[in-house]
Amino acid sequence: MKDQIRNTIEIACAPERIYAYVTQPWLWHEWHPNSKSAKSSSSTLATGDTFDEVIELQPLSPLPFTLKRQTRYRVIAADPPRHWRVEGKMSGGWLQIDYVFKPSECGVSFTRTLTYETRGFNRLMAPLLRPRMRKMSLLALSNLKAKLEASD
C-alpha cells in the first residue's frame, strides 16, 4: 500500500543554507520528531552515497507503544541547492524522501515529500500511523522553520 505526505513551507533563509542543513541526516533529530539518530561515512551526501537512520513512531500516542525502524538509505538525486532525493529500505517497507528548494520573496519555499509503502505488520498498522505521520511531518517543517530562522 503506497501513500504520500507532501508539505511546503516558506523559510526566511537562503536555499543554499537550508539545503546544506537538511541534507545532513545526522541533524534530522534536531527538527524531525520521529528521527532519533543517523550516521554516514560521508560528511556531505552526494548521489550514490548511503546512510542509516533510526526512526521511532508512536501510532497510539499518547500511549507509550513505540515502533522502532532501522532504515538504510541511498541518495538517488543531489542537485544543490535545488533538489535532493533519497530512497530507504526497512523491514516492512520502503520510502522515498524528496526535498525541493525554490527561491521565494522571503527566502525559500521548501517542499518535503515522503512517499512510502508498507508490508506485513506495518500494513496492519498503517491506518493508525497515517494520521500521526501527517501530524509529525507538519511539526517537523514548523520545527525546521523555527530553527533556521532563529539562528539568522
Euclidean distance between the first and the last CA atom of the chain, given in angstroms as a whole number: 41
Instruction: Tell me the HSE value of 82 on the side-chain side, using a 13 A CA sphere.
Output: 2
Task: Tell me the β-bridge partners of 35.
Answer: 55
> In the chain, how many domains are there?
1
The 10 Å Cβ neighbour count of residue 93 is 19
Q: pLDDT digit of tens for each residue in the chain (152 aa)?
A: 689 999 999 999 999 999 999 999 999 999 999 999 999 988 899 999 999 999 987 766 676 777 788 999 999 999 999 999 999 999 888 999 999 999 999 999 999 999 999 877 666 666 667 888 899 999 999 999 999 999 76
Residue 98: the pLDDT is: 98
Helix (H) or strand (E) holding 145: helix 121-150
**Structural domain boundaries, residue 53:** 2-150
Residue 56: the pLDDT is: 87
Euclidean distance between CA atoms 149 and 71, whole angstroms? 29
**pTM reported for the whole predicted model:** 0.90
CATH number of 59's domain: 3.30.530.20
